[in-house]
């Protein structure tokens, strides 16, 4: 850890009238006297740590239990010796690469020989595929003949460069979707794994890709809401987290304390945290409003931590707005963290009393999965994939407004036993449905179902 | 988990006529075409969806949400309550006990009947639209051998402790669809192969809707431990 000396919010002078007013507010309005505090300088790691080795299958036994691990091995046993190829568009960065980094060794360990290849292409290709990606999410885009030609040219080059002799081929996302033409004349089974939301795609782009997708034996989506009407079977694979990753593994209490000390978070008082990029769709300003409303009744600190401000001009604007909204309140701790902060984020989540995800729009919302896995009482917006995870009043609390968020913060801070029950249920929900081992089992099941369709 | 029991009667080691073979089941979800945003759409979809969808949203959802012990009985009830805002319909759907049905056709018929009756009693409810549609899914099942057998009551209790909750669900809840009987694999084996009539009946009286599945496992073990002692 290095002290970069770059606080992300103005440093208040504790003797200033504003700081005094802030302390006075906390004393008179929250009912619980808060000691005069200064905002601490966060100490943020400057360089990425070395990647830890990928876990072995046996490492998951302590988490899911021997019986479930045995069942996974049993489901996989008829597939021993089968060969699988995974293809995507990037080896590093992004959720798909992160997931494949864990999934491929697990399948290999189940004796399903799994390879992973990445397509190549020039800037022109990736500009087109990025535009496709945004258009499939509903963005404006004019599909030109030139864009079609660039896509097909690079698809053809990749097709010639790669061989497809495996029993099962899994193509991830639209970028390599055109490789399906290599299936012709082969008995192998091909799966298109779509990680993006296709509920409102740009019509031209979808019309271009649709005939390719229909040639696969099956498609896989992350949510029924993200799927399209297709003639092929569509499996549902929820996104997942790895309980042994840096972001989710158990941590020593000492380390959690160290991270809180470095970030100026006081563990003797309640902590409400939102982990997310500084992005308008994550509504950090709404979270600060909810904090201010709830703070009149209960004493707590708010931590907003995430990245996205250094590599995204809009993120920098949102971060600045959040800092301005927080003003000189030392109980609002805003942390812009580098991409290699998985351990620190893990520690912050574990130190939190409540975790909030007040997004205005969301994909699946893996930060919610992470919070539930840590058995934290979670308050989250009823958008995207969040209601699949947060079953209202069972595994967390769903909200639809700033006011709702503020009220539920007050409620959970004053009813910790209810919060603890939500936390326990939330962890069980993740254990049953959203862990990497469940994901591996889904792949194995799909491979078995497709393989048996030969008969 | 229960603490280990000490056999106080020779009965606990009496050999069963045939061993109990613990199995389990793995399920894979598929997205179906049907979706519903209103009561009328729900009704149509309930009538046309594959039986695997009825299974998924009733029997399977109990397994997926096995850690919840109150207020969650099936996906249709949950959606009617939380998304459609029809509390009365949610309550009626939630009161259905899947264990009263030995076929998915009968369960589908009952679901349709409940929705039809509610819509006819509350015509205004047909105008409501849910912000989040109900997406029909289905599940494909692969049955798994666990390599675990029980030749007597003690081994059976030990097996119950060791197997996954998927196995408990497979034998205790899904079994009636397979067997077309209002009973379960455990009760049938206890009666047929060990002659334990009382325990066989007691197991069928366990309320699966007010316990977690882990709680159901504990209750089964408790009943059998009492028999041992």
Q: How does DSSP assign A244-289, residue by residue?
A: TSTTTS---HHHHHHHHHHHT--TTS-EEEEE--S-GGG-HHHHHH
- Cβ pair A224:B35 closer than 8 A: yes
Longest CA–CA separation in chain B, Å: 65
B70 and B129 part of one domain: yes
| Cα radius of gyration (chain A) | 24
Query: Across chain A, what does the average pLDDT equal?
Result: 89
The last residue of a domain, from among B114, B138, B162:
B138
Nearest CA in chain B to A229: B33
CB under 8 Å to B184, separation ≥6 — which residues?
B171, B172, B173, B175, B176, B203, B204
- The HSE-up count of residue A285 (CA atoms within 13 Å, CB side) is 12
Domain regions of chain A by residue span: 17-36+244-433, 66-240+436-452
pLDDT of amino acid A8: 32
- Cβ pair A75:B135 closer than 8 A: no
Nearest to A392 among B27, B28, B82 (CB): B82
- The HSE-up count of residue A372 (CA atoms within 13 Å, CB side) is 34
B40 and B110 part of one domain: yes
B62 and B121 part of one domain: yes
Strands B20-36 and B134-150: antiparallel
- B2 domain-assigned: no
Nearest CA in chain B to A220: B30
Chains A and B form CB pairs within 8 A to the count of 80
Q: Which domain holds residue B94?
A: 26-138
B82 and B118 part of one domain: yes
pLDDT of amino acid A212: 97
pLDDT of amino acid A1: 33
The last residue of a domain, from among B72, B103, B138:
B138
Nearest to A387 among B24, B68, B132 (CB): B132
B168 and B216 part of one domain: yes
Which of A374, A164, A82, A143 has the alpha carbon at shortest distance from A251? Answer: A374
| Cα radius of gyration (chain B) | 20
B94 and B166 part of one domain: no
- Cβ pair A233:B132 closer than 8 A: no
- Cβ pair B28:A235 closer than 8 A: yes
Full pLDDT tens readout for chain B, 229 residues? 444 444 455 667 789 999 999 999 999 999 999 999 999 999 999 999 999 999 999 998 888 887 777 766 899 999 999 899 999 999 999 999 888 898 999 999 999 999 999 999 999 999 999 999 999 999 999 999 888 999 999 999 999 999 999 999 999 999 988 888 889 999 999 999 999 999 999 999 998 888 889 999 999 999 999 988 7
Fold agreement between A17-36+244-433 and A66-240+436-452: yes
Tell the CATH superfamily of the A66-240+436-452 domain.
Glycogen Phosphorylase B; (3.40.50.2000)
Tell the CATH superfamily of the A17-36+244-433 domain.
Glycogen Phosphorylase B; (3.40.50.2000)
- B171 domain-assigned: yes
B109 and B150 part of one domain: no
pLDDT tens profile A27-63: 334 445 445 455 566 667 677 777 778 899 999 999 9
Nearest CA in chain A to B33: A229
- B223 domain-assigned: yes
Strands B20-36 and A397-399: unpaired
Cα A426 to Cα A307: distance, rounded to the nearest angstrom: 26
CB B224 within 8 A of CB B8: no
pTM higher than 0.90, yes or no? no
- B5 domain-assigned: no
The residue of A110, A236, A433 whose CB has the most chain B CBs within 10 angstroms, and thus the best one to mutate to test that interface, is: A236
Nearest to A442 among B28, B66, B133 (CB): B28
Q: Give B82's contacts in chain A (Cβ within 8 Å).
A: 392
Nearest to B140 among A225, A391, A449 (CB): A449
């Amino acid at each position: 850890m290095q002290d970069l000396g770059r606080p992300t919010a103005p440093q208040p002078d504790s003797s200033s009238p504003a700081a005094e007013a802030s302390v006075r507010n906390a004393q008179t309005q929250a009912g619980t006297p808060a000691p005069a505090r200064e905002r601490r300088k966060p100490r943020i790691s400057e360089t990425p740590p070395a990647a830890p080795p990928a876990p072995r299958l046996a490492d998951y036994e302590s988490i899911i239990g021997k019986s479930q691990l045995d069942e996974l091995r049993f489901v996989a046993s008829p597939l021993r010796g089968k060969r699988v190829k995974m293809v995507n568009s990037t080896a590093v960065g992004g959720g798909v690469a992160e997931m494949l980094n864990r999934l491929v060794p697990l399948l290999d360990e189940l004796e399903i020989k799994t390879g992973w290849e990445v397509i190549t292409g020039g800037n022109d290709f990736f500009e087109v595929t990025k535009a496709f990606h945004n258009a499939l999410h509903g963005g404006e885009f004019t599909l030109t003949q030139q864009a079609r030609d660039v896509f097909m040219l690079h698809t053809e080059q990749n097709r010639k460069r790669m061989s497809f002799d495996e029993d099962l081929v899994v193509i991830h996302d639209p970028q390599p979707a055109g490789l399906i033409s290599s299936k012709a004349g082969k008995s192998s089974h091909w799966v298109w794994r779509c990680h993006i939301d296709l509920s409102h795609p740009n019509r031209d782009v979808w019309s271009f890709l649709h005939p390719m997708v229909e040639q696969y034996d099956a498609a896989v989506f992350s949510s029924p809401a993200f799927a399209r009407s297709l003639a092929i079977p569509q499996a549902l694979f929820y996104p997942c987290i790895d309980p042994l990753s840096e972001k989710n593994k158990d941590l020593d209490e000492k380390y959690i304390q160290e991270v809180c000390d470095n970030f100026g978070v006081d563990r003797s008082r309640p902590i409400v945290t939102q982990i997310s990029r500084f992005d308008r769709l994550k509504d950090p300003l709404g979270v600060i409003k909810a904090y201010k409303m709830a703070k009149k009744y209960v004493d707590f600190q708010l931590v907003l931590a995430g990245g996205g401000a250094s590599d995204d001009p809009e993120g920098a604007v949102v971060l600045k707005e959040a800092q301005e909204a927080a003003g000189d309140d030392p109980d609002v701790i805003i942390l812009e963290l580098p991409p290699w902060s998985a351990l620190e984020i893990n520690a912050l989540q574990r130190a939190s009393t409540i975790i909030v995800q007040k997004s205005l729009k969301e994909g699946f919302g893996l930060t919610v999965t992470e919070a539930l896995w840590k058995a934290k009482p979670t308050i989250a917006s009823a958008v995207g994939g969040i209601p699949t995870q947060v079953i209202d009043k069972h595994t967390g609390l769903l909200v639809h407004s700033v006011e709702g968020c503020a009220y539920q913060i007050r409620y959970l801070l004053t009813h910790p036993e209810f919060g603890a029950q939500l936390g326990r249920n939330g962890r069980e929900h993740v254990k049953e449905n959203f862990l990497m081992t469940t994901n591996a089992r889904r792949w194995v099941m799909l491979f078995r179902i497709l393989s048996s369709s030969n008969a | 988990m229960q603490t280990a029991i000490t056999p106080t009667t020779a009965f606990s080691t009496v050999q069963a006529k045939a061993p109990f073979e613990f199995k389990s089941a793995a399920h894979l979800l598929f997205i179906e075409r049907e979706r519903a945003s209103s009561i009328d759409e729900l009704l149509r979809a309930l009538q046309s969806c594959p039986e695997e969808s009825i299974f998924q949203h009733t029997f399977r959802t109990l397994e997926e949400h096995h850690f919840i012990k109150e207020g969650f009985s099936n996906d249709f009830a949950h959606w009617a309550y939380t998304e459609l805002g029809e509390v009365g319909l949610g309550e009626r759907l939630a009161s259905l006990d899947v264990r009263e049905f030995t076929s998915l056709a009968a369960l589908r018929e009952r679901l349709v009947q409940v929705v039809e009756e509610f819509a006819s009693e509350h015509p205004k409810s047909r105008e409501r639209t849910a912000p989040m549609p109900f997406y029909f899914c289905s599940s494909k099942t692969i049955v798994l051998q666990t390599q675990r057998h029980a030749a007597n009551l003690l081994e059976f209790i030990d097996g119950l402790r060791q197997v996954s909750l998927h196995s408990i669900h497979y034998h205790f809840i899904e079994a009636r669809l397979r067997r077309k009987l209002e009973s379960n694999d455990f009760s049938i084996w206890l009666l047929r192969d060990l002659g334990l009539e009382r325990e066989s009946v007691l197991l069928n009286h366990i309320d699966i809707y007010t316990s977690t599945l882990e709680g159901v496992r504990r209750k089964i073990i408790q009943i059998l431990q009492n028999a041992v002692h």
